[in-house]
């Protein structure tokens, strides 16, 4: 999300500070001169042994998904990724078709050791996410999960993930609400203290937010987590639950196509 000339030092700073999960997608670009995968490919390969890299596929058909990921590997300048995801599972998703298409492709890439782990992301359907985890064998999921409780992912999808031993990374925990109804610290703690959530991914538009979030992460402790009141934050932010406040909840929104 950063401008040319800004993203390079941000990536280097994040790696130096110990951040070790970097998430992208084949469609992320935000009108920049290079795709997000190409940007990652300039810096992350030399650090790959000490970090985790995830990317996502837009295509649902088998052949197209295979070609899409082969392009992703070329852009990333890597011969494997740590996590390969089917991007943005929707309420209307045909899981039978998906199983024969994109899911078949990512499962093959895992067997071929081009992807260490496989899964999906979703910000629009907790119910379909639950159904997918019950039907298909996946290792991980990136799910929209924030204190507005919009989409009910924590209530609907997270218990199934825990039962199926699917690792969950929280996303959309700040956008549209940070600095309005909640602080960065509160919103990060909300995700980190959810039972079954392993980590969180946050987009950064500049070095300032990155430094702030790293300070919050470095000060995290079991004592602070134990004292954190998720219910109080949910009550305070319930008025933000919906497209009026959350741009990513609006019809037609796709990650990577909007700044």
User: Which 3 state secondary structure label does DSSP give 109?
Assistant: helix
pLDDT at 258: 44
Q: Which two tokens stand for residue 39?
A: 């940007």
Neighbours of 127 (CB within 10 A): 14
pLDDT at 256: 67
Q: Does 224 reside within a domain?
A: yes
CATH number at residue 214: 3.20.20.100
Q: Does 225 reside within a domain?
A: yes
pLDDT at 253: 86
Q: Which two tokens stand for residue 64?
A: 């197209």
Q: Does 21 reside within a domain?
A: yes
**What's the chain's average pLDDT?**
94
Using CA atoms, how far apart are residues 171 and 129, in angstroms rounded to an integer?
14
Q: What is the domain range of residue 58?
A: 7-235
The mean pLDDT of 142-159, rounded to a whole number, is 97
Q: Does 241 reside within a domain?
A: no
The mean pLDDT of 49-53, rounded to a whole number, is 98
Pick from 168, 221, 163: which is nearest to 199 by CA? 168
pLDDT band at 259 (very low <50, low <70, confident <90, very high): very low
pLDDT digits (tens, 9 = 90+) for 20-37: 999 999 999 876 678 999
Q: Does 163 reside within a domain?
A: yes
% residues pLDDT > 90 (the chain)? 88
**Would the pLDDT of 124 be above 80?**
yes
Pick from 91, 246, 103: which is nearest to 157 by CA? 91
How is 24-46 classified by DSSP, letter by letter?
--TT--TT-SS-HHHHHHHHGGG
- The angle at the Cα of 91, spanning 90 to 94, to the nearest 5 degrees, equals 80
Pick from 60, 217, 198: which is nearest to 142 by CA? 198
pLDDT band at 178 (very low <50, low <70, confident <90, very high): very high
Residues 196 and 168: beta-carbon distance below 8 Å:
yes
Q: Number of folded domains in the chain? A: 1
How is 135-156 classified by DSSP, letter by letter?
HS--SEEEEE--TT-TT-HHHH
pLDDT digits (tens, 9 = 90+) for 86-119: 999 999 999 999 999 999 999 999 999 999 999 9
Residues 6+ apart with CB under 8 A from 107: 118, 137
Using CA atoms, how far apart are residues 132 and 136, in angstroms rounded to an integer?
6
pLDDT at 161: 99
**Would the pLDDT of 169 be above 60?**
yes
Q: Does 245 reside within a domain?
A: no
Q: Does 244 reside within a domain?
A: no
The mean pLDDT of 45-55, rounded to a whole number, is 98
**Would the pLDDT of 156 be above 50?**
yes
pLDDT digits (tens, 9 = 90+) for 187-239: 999 999 999 999 999 988 789 999 999 999 999 999 999 999 999 999 999 99
Using CA atoms, how far apart are residues 182 and 174, in angstroms rounded to an integer?
8
pTM above 0.85, yes or no: yes
Phi, psi of 16 (to 5 degrees): -60, -30
Supply the DSSP symbol for 173.
Answer: S
Q: Does 258 reside within a domain?
A: no
pLDDT at 2: 59
């Amino acid at each position: 999300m950063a401008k040319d000339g800004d993203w390079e030092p941000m990536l280097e700073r994040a790696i130096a500070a110990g951040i070790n999960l970097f998430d992208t997608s084949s469609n992320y670009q935000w009108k920049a001169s290079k795709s997000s995968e190409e940007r990652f490919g300039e810096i992350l390969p030399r650090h790959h042994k000490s970090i985790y890299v995830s990317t996502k596929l837009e295509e649902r058909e088998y052949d197209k998904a295979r070609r899409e990921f082969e392009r992703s590997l070329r852009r990333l300048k890597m011969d494997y990724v740590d996590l390969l995801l089917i991007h943005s599972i929707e309420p209307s998703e045909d899981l039978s078709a998906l199983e024969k298409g994109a899911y078949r492709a990512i499962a093959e890439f895992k067997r071929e050791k081009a992807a260490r782990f496989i899964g999906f992301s979703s910000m629009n359907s907790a119910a379909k996410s639950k159904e997918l985890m019950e039907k298909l064998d996946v290792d991980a999921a990136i799910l929209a999960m924030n204190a507005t409780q919009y989409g009910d992912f924590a209530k609907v999808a997270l218990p199934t993930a825990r039962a199926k031993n699917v690792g969950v990374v929280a996303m959309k925990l700040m956008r549209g609400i940070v600095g309005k109804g909640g602080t960065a610290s509160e919103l990060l703690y909300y995700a980190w203290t959810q039972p079954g959530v392993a980590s969180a991914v946050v987009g950064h538009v500049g070095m300032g937010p990155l430094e702030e979030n790293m300070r919050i992460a470095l000060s995290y402790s079991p004592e602070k987590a134990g004292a954190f009141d998720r219910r109080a934050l949910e009550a305070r932010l319930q008025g933000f639950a919906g497209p009026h406040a959350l741009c990513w909840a609006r019809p037609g929104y796709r990650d990577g196509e909007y700044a």
